[in-house]
Structure 1
């Protein structure tokens, strides 16, 4: 026995001393080659194991480098073709390193798994490699603010997964490429949402073929180029557009009349061209808040009366002949303000007297902030003296940093001004939390949140980009004696190795004794044992659509289920916010003891819920059945619940059009659960707090599980699923009190109550009054607004025409009929609301950011995060991929 122990110790010692590096050898050699040609690499880039020793800015999965994020690191040098050897690389962000220069290597096209290529505000030059068009997984391409020359590669049209294309602020020339019979072009990018090509030297006409009705573009930014010809009428086919910038070119002729069809556009810039003809009729653009047509040659015709009907519209007509006519208000013909003296105020403290180079934060703490410029490309306001805008932006920034658990104490915004391009520019300072300077991880994380558009500013600021400064005061980088440092490492290694050997010995003996006992217990108590067994031998389980998380993973992602990440609670238990290693936000529902099910029942639940995939239903990403815990992991929906928005808690104002779209989205989600989920699901607790709003205010139905098959007495078969939740007072189907059964029509009744909430802004039962009874009592179809004026929510926009209000009220009241047989199905409700939107002159098949053909549009690649989407199903044996970026 003693000899065996001795042999064991010797073998263990050899293994400890010869433990191989974690990092794949090809990946290490590629990073070493970059390190050799770059100056100012992070000090942690030492040794031969970037994954094992955690080089700053490097993330690995299974020994392979999958992400490089080195924003604002002060790197100097070029990008060599060695980068192509990182065959598993998915994210490359080298933004805000202005000393990175030279051409991009064509070999970058060999990174076939790359999803995000972000090189904002460096000094790269030369042509954009054609080979970028051969990156099949690329979703985010941001090369803006460099010195690229030559033409836009037509090969970019091959990037059929691309959502974000930003080539602005370079020196690109030539025509905008469109496809021919033999070459691709940008017109093929039908899934792309952003064309940002401003501040280049592009010339020629805007090709009519560039735009088509099948596109989902929301931003077309072509400002400050050398474009000629007319505005193509095909632009009016892209109904999803929200921001259009064609200013500072040489476009001529009249504005196409079908531009009026762009009912989702909020900002449109046509200034500084040579446009002629009468002022366009834009009466159909109900959401338009900023229109700049200054410095053109529009005819001096009668002033369009529709200008005054859009009270929130800022219109600029400076230097047009129409401004010379009498009776034209100065409001439209005066030069707007260009700067403000705003600076973030101190938070009830006295500014500190700081040492050299330190700056006092709004919380009066001396520190070295991370600095840069925020540039907003299409703000919807011109009054720069309204400080409310900036305080809202500050809160939005801090909320984003907190959501991502970044070490930020406060932010300072200062000196808002409009530059020559009418961009709104603000100085930004980000102050560290808990110390006077950031470490490298903090800076690269903040830089990535701003460079890949994870931060979503308030909509009135429009699209933005950030130009970060190099950060030179990193924490914990004081260099000591090399000799003493090495001695310490040796002593530590010896001591650590000895302890490790003892632990290995004890653990091995204990594990051997417990092995069979543990295996037997697992088989008896864990219904997921077969899945886990398959995973351990590399097999793929049959179940797709959800991931099996361990307890340790979810504890790590939620910061040990910390109080700061506790975002709600209910009958099932608490809900925690979490952040995956990819940056994707998740919501973790952790069951409390009294609400747990048996293992087999819980497994059945997961199998059922994992089949639900629809853009208007909150997606189940995974689950945890570990250490006696039952947890469900859902996508995180950032803008809270409809109830919170209606109550004013979120600061989101829902006008009439937005409320119609929220109602349609929620109806589509619920109709999908009833009619197309497999098996169909009855929600049983529809209410405004269970309808969540994503970053574009699209509605998502939540809390439809846990669920169980209905028995024969309930439905006569087992094809429908109903949740265990028993409903909420005020939303409950009256028939339930007699039958003690909830059906699809019970959900319809609850949805009708939600529709009345959308109308009134009131809770179902408020101050002893029941909203259904209040509406029915006041209703008089012969009177204006059905005699509901005093009940309607004032923020709905009572000073505007509420198109379709009567039809909406009629549908809501059909839903809350006393007898279930008199209520419509949710499919019928969807069709009714679609008709209402059409009567209101709106496109029911387009929300504020994307197009959905019908309520049965099962989502594939849904947004799981404001700017990130992932696969619609995950194998249990697989891990989460590095996030694919979907800017909106």
Structure 2
């Protein structure tokens, strides 16, 4: 049979497509040019098809290169640069070349042509020269890490054009010049109102800190200008940065004049470093700054009166761990309450005029490790009850000058004066094995080659470096998170914590592989990315940090390119030019086929997700889902005594809930859907699928389910004390005072944070409300009812979905856009926070609790003037509601109009833990508490993800209340 011309042409096209690369030729050419500038390539960079051949570190969408991730994998070989060929990768969104010390030279100006770039991560390299002004053209940039290089020259004013910038880290370079501000023509840093991180420490920046650089629209939480050469006064506009949490003006700066009196507007400030400047005027009054943990104003020239009393704010900072006020000439008698602050660890007050009797009292804090009062005017000491047996230095005081041989008059040899540096323990039951060259003994007592580096914490909130609990917490947290991000990590080891010359906490780190002796390229790139890109967020007490790695001895270190760019380009260009028409037709065919196949695959995935879970099945062929048991109708009928009224413990739109007792004696709650229920098959399947994959003490556990005889029933653990809503309304008889309410809401927050940040994939609940928070026998909170929940999928971004939820709790942004993110749950949680303190329905007869609180608030009054709105059962007095103002601040942050302005649930957990401590309540111990990290590209101190900056359509909205 004779073939038609079209069939012959199609056959030719198919054969031609075999020799054509999957990768855009422009991208291929650019990558080859970049590789040539490095002299050495990553292990599998060969051929002409980066996407099709899956070049290491290269991520593609279609035929375009969108990400390059090569953190720490280019070590060894000759030094290289970043070639101007980077401009060829016009679809690039992420460029991570961090932790490659052999990469240096100047950054090419052509990097400014990458109009789609969102993440530029070059930390820990050796780049030098000036930062190109062209970086200011990267209008989509969100994260910019240029720290720990050798950049010189000024900060480009063009960075002020980066309106989406969230994180700006230029620290640890050799930058000079002044801070750029808008001058009427050129932009400046004052234009970056959405940026939360200004990390400019350890440079050679100079000049004054211009007053125009700060304004009330800014959302800064970290302002690090330490270890520079700034002079002049601190601008009063600093007091406008009410979101600020960390402030460092210390070391090498020469700031003068008084500290602005409005500094106490910074009520969220946790770290204040003003030491080693030339500040004058009165010692700042920090009375209103209740969040402060670390204060250092040493070695300044404040106009303090030696005869005056010690500042009253000394005892007004409930979260204070460290007070450093050396050589300030302040005086008076130290109040006994200072030594009883619950979190206080270190008091460094040497070189002042404190006088009279030092009365530590008998109830001094168990956390207090060091009292340094050398060179003051102390004449006597009183310690009630148990003698203080930690470090107390009184040399240079009249008490010691009188010939006293008291141990406190010695500067060395005191109890616990020199604890050995911390080292992670090796858990070897017997004689440890002998490790080969380059291998070290891991904490698990196995020999392996660790990935080494240094963690530098720029502002930890503690000063007791001898407290092992901090390092144990960090070890456990980091190991858990690295494993969670699917890196093959067995354990981490920490060594030699110390304070370096820049006043940062430095800890040596070793990361050990799991199931193998040595990491491979991909492992190193992944771990380096997680630590450099701040995806890994340490426990809050450690504060902002950065990571510098050591070169890792990869077994497959890069090889010299077998073919140069010059040899390969003619082939690429020839194929492209000679077969342009063929390529176009082939691409059309490929796209059509690919789209059909993709659509088919997605349809199959959806259909197979619960294909074996036949909703009408009466057999036991339904698969078990991660431990969920399959019950027959007869079993559930028996354990509920034929669904008797006596066992009826609740009802809703879905049907009724019955108490039952399993043969094992376990109490369970059986939710039985009734015909015509508002909860349909989809919600039923959703709840089974989600609850079978999540396991957390603050999330209700699914025991099993039943699909027998046309019934749909879910079997949960039995929660005896009803819902939070029933407690607030008095229906359950469980009375919750302020501390108990904090404990309950903290537990609920931890459950939601687990769903967002530790569940795999992430889960958005979509119906957070008081009736979906259950209370167990110990009043622990359990988040329940996952019928409306949604998986966010692998990319953790916005999901376009039909709006569902409960009016009053529903996120307005989600309602208007139908774009679902974790921040939709955060809004509902904010409403729940307000419901907890008012005991009012969120929405009732046209009165909306969020609007009511906003209208009634007066920050100048006790409890923000909310006495009339607060639940009378709480007892509306400042003494009985410790931390309420911080609680309200958190609630209002959660219900911000824009999702990007709301905290993450992990941040909410940390803040609620702090509020609970302020209220005198008990949270989990440090070793038991869970920190909630985030996946790429989420970042630490603000909690926003890159997905929140992407555009989305605005389809019509429909609310389906439960």
Give the superposition deviation at 1:340: 4.9
Listed one character per residue, the Cα deviations across residues 736-774 of structure 1 (whole Å, up to 9, x for unaligned) are xxxxxxxxxxx99x959983xxxxxxxxxxxxxxxxxxx
Q: In the comparison of the two structures, how many residue pairs are matched? A: 645
Partner of 2:324: 316
Listed one character per residue, the Cα deviations across residues 195-237 of structure 1 (whole Å, up to 9, x for unaligned) are 0001111111101111111111000000011100111111111
> Does structure 2 conserve the Cα–Cα contact (< 8 Å) formed by 1:838 and 1:844?
no
Partner of 1:46: 46
Listed one character per residue, the Cα deviations across residues 168-194 of structure 1 (whole Å, up to 9, x for unaligned) are 111111110010111100000000000
> Does structure 1 conserve the Cα–Cα contact (< 8 Å) formed by 2:773 and 2:783?
no
State which of 370, 383, 388 in structure 1 corresponds to 2:469. Answer: 388
> Does structure 2 conserve the Cα–Cα contact (< 8 Å) formed by 1:660 and 1:837?
no
Give the superposition deviation at 1:640: 9.0
Give the superposition deviation at 1:875: 7.2
Partner of 2:773: 687
Listed one character per residue, the Cα deviations across residues 84-121 of structure 1 (whole Å, up to 9, x for unaligned) are 11001011111111111110000000000000111111
Give the superposition deviation at 1:686: 2.9
Q: Using a 3 Å threshold, how does the CA distance of structure 1 residues 701 and 140 change in structure 2: closer, same or farther?
A: farther
Q: Using a 3 Å threshold, how does the CA distance of structure 1 residues 700 and 157 change in structure 2: closer, same or farther?
A: farther
| Alignment pair present for 1:342 and 2:346 | no
> Does structure 1 conserve the Cα–Cα contact (< 8 Å) formed by 2:321 and 2:463?
no
State which of 437, 446, 457 in structure 2 corresponds to 1:356. Answer: 437
Partner of 1:195: 198
State the SS of the aligned residue for 2:315: helix
Partner of 1:230: 233
What is the rounded CA distance, in whole Å, between the counterparts of 2:782 and 2:83 in structure 1? 45
| Alignment pair present for 1:305 and 2:312 | yes
> Does structure 1 conserve the Cα–Cα contact (< 8 Å) formed by 2:451 and 2:550?
yes
What is the rounded CA distance, in whole Å, between the counterparts of 1:419 and 1:570 in structure 2? 59
State which of 430, 440, 445 in structure 1 corresponds to 2:521. Answer: 440
What is the rounded CA distance, in whole Å, between the counterparts of 2:234 and 2:177 in structure 1? 18
5 Å-filtered alignment, 1:774-853, equals: 808=837, 811-812=838-839, 825-827=848-850, 830-831=853-854, 838-839=864-865, 852=893
Give the superposition deviation at 1:277: 2.1
> Does structure 2 conserve the Cα–Cα contact (< 8 Å) formed by 1:682 and 1:720?
no
Partner of 1:371: 452
Partner of 2:547: 466
5 Å-filtered alignment, 1:478-877, equals: 550=605, 685-687=771-773, 705-706=787-788, 755=836, 808=837, 811-812=838-839, 825-827=848-850, 830-831=853-854, 838-839=864-865, 852=893, 856-857=897-898, 865=935, 866-867=938-939, 868-871=945-948
> Does structure 2 conserve the Cα–Cα contact (< 8 Å) formed by 1:289 and 1:313?
yes
> Does structure 2 conserve the Cα–Cα contact (< 8 Å) formed by 1:683 and 1:722?
no
State which of 275, 279, 291 in structure 2 corresponds to 1:287. Answer: 291
Give the superposition deviation at 1:320: 2.0
State which of 325, 340, 348 in structure 1 corresponds to 2:353. Answer: 325
Give the superposition deviation at 1:395: 1.2
> Does structure 1 conserve the Cα–Cα contact (< 8 Å) formed by 2:896 and 2:902?
no
5 Å-filtered alignment, 1:51-62, equals: 51-62=51-62
> Does structure 1 conserve the Cα–Cα contact (< 8 Å) formed by 2:699 and 2:784?
no
Q: Using a 3 Å threshold, how does the CA distance of structure 1 residues 832 and 643 change in structure 2: closer, same or farther?
A: farther
Give the superposition deviation at 1:308: 2.6
Q: Using a 3 Å threshold, how does the CA distance of structure 1 residues 428 and 538 change in structure 2: closer, same or farther?
A: closer
Give the superposition deviation at 1:294: 1.2
> Does structure 1 conserve the Cα–Cα contact (< 8 Å) formed by 2:456 and 2:506?
yes
State the SS of the aligned residue for 2:772: coil
Structure 2: unaligned runs, 5 residues or longer: 331-350, 359-369, 375-392, 394-410, 412-416, 563-591, 611-622, 632-670, 702-737, 753-765, 791-801, 808-827, 866-877, 905-933, 940-944, 955-962
State the SS of the aligned residue for 2:264: helix
Structure 1: unaligned runs, 5 residues or longer: 483-531, 540-546, 556-562, 572-593, 607-624, 645-654, 670-679, 691-698, 709-718, 725-746, 756-807, 878-888
What is the rounded CA distance, in whole Å, between the counterparts of 1:470 and 1:299 in structure 2? 51
Partner of 2:386: none
Q: Using a 3 Å threshold, how does the CA distance of structure 1 residues 875 and 164 change in structure 2: closer, same or farther?
A: closer
What is the rounded CA distance, in whole Å, between the counterparts of 1:371 and 1:554 in structure 2? 42
Partner of 1:240: 243
What is the rounded CA distance, in whole Å, between the counterparts of 1:270 and 1:642 in structure 2? 44
| Alignment pair present for 1:179 and 2:182 | yes
Partner of 2:145: 142
Partner of 1:579: none
State the SS of the aligned residue for 1:28: helix
State which of 95, 99, 104 in structure 2 corresponds to 1:101. Answer: 104
Give the superposition deviation at 1:40: 3.6
- CA RMSD in angstroms, aligned pairs only: 5.3
> Does structure 1 conserve the Cα–Cα contact (< 8 Å) formed by 2:264 and 2:288?
yes
What is the rounded CA distance, in whole Å, between the counterparts of 1:2 and 1:815 in structure 2? 79
Give the superposition deviation at 1:846: 9.2
Partner of 1:406: 487
Partner of 1:587: none
Give the superposition deviation at 1:20: 2.2
Partner of 2:734: none
State which of 296, 301, 311 in structure 1 corresponds to 2:300. Answer: 296
State the SS of the aligned residue for 1:18: helix
What is the rounded CA distance, in whole Å, between the counterparts of 2:187 and 2:946 in structure 1? 26
What is the rounded CA distance, in whole Å, between the counterparts of 1:658 and 1:234 in structure 2? 38
Give the superposition deviation at 1:314: 0.9
TM-score, normalization by structure 1:
0.63
Partner of 2:222: 219
What is the rounded CA distance, in whole Å, between the counterparts of 1:597 and 1:420 in structure 2? 69
Listed one character per residue, the Cα deviations across residues 828-870 of structure 1 (whole Å, up to 9, x for unaligned) are 664489568635799789967x984955545589968542230
What is the rounded CA distance, in whole Å, between the counterparts of 1:317 and 1:657 in structure 2? 37
| Alignment pair present for 1:419 and 2:500 | yes
State which of 253, 260, 268 in structure 1 corresponds to 2:272. Answer: 268
What is the rounded CA distance, in whole Å, between the counterparts of 2:68 and 2:269 in structure 1? 36
Q: Highest relative contact order (Cα 8 Å, sep 6+), 1 or 2?
A: 1
Give the superposition deviation at 1:74: 3.1
